[in-house]
Amino acid sequence: MHPITTTFVDRLRNRDESAWFELWETFGPVIRAHFARWGRGAIGPETARDLTQETLAQLAGAIERFDPERGVRFSTWLLSIARHIFGDEVDRRMAGKRGGGRRAFSLDAGPPASSDGVAPDDEYERRIFRAKVMAAIRRVESTSDFLGFQVWQTRVLDGVVGREVAERIGTSEPTVSRHVARIRDRLRGELARTISEYSFTEEESREAERAGLAASDSAFDAAIAEIYRVEAGAPSVSPDGASDSKAWSSIRFPPRGAR
């Protein structure tokens, strides 16, 4: 067990709002996407956001019972809570149908069934891993000089050749290469820290290596760019215009120790 991982869990248990916001910002989009997937068109963006808030609020009430030493993926535990919240939503809508009055959307199919109640598929785990990578990129951006990060982003994430990047900012290719190398080194370190922080099993700790993030510089850049391209379409603001930070601020946690 990584000490930083245990520290993060302790921050959650102590109702450290910055830790809970990190959780919302990092994994909230993954859970919202799963609610939409389970809803099969019957779950809109606003409802998916509301259900995600409910998921984190319920997680807050249960965090005391999470034991990292058991080697259970935090992402699996989070998914099990989301599945429970989705089941409650199905029950509410079914009750609305039986009670008459107004017609509710059908969620009869529900989420995929599993023998143990939680069956994270490969796509869910890939989304969770990509969320960790994106969190590391955001952290590096927030602590790097503007020009250096923009050069790295243009060269690596946008795939613009070094000569063109140099021409755009009026500098030399070697200077572009130095900016890219500096941000790459910082990102490697931040990735190791972020993955360790949000990982609770040895298998999770090896995810970066399997994804090509422990390879040569060129392979590392290619892997990061591919993850970024996959995630780039996920908006930070919901389609209805409500920002994640506003949704986060509306969550009300139970007091520490409440069940």
Predicted local confidence at residue 70, as pLDDT: 73
What is the spatial distance between Cα 34 and Cα 28, in angstroms, rounded to a whole number?
A: 10
The residues that bridge with 237 in the sheet, in sequence order, are: 243
DSSP helix/strand/coil, 125 = helix
What is the spatial distance between Cα 221 and Cα 129, in angstroms, rounded to a whole number?
A: 16
Closest to 212 measured CA to CA, from 117, 130, 106, 141: 130
pLDDT band at 225 (very low <50, low <70, confident <90, very high): very high
What is the spatial distance between Cα 151 and Cα 179, in angstroms, rounded to a whole number?
A: 7
Summarize pLDDT for 4-44 with one digit per residue, the tens: 455 777 788 888 888 888 888 888 889 998 898 888 888 88
Summarize pLDDT for 107-164 with one digit per residue, the tens: 443 444 443 444 567 788 888 899 999 999 999 999 999 999 999 999 999 999 999 9
What is the spatial distance between Cα 168 and Cα 172, in angstroms, rounded to a whole number?
A: 10
Q: Domain map of the chain by residue range? A: 3-249
The residues that bridge with 243 in the sheet, in sequence order, are: 237
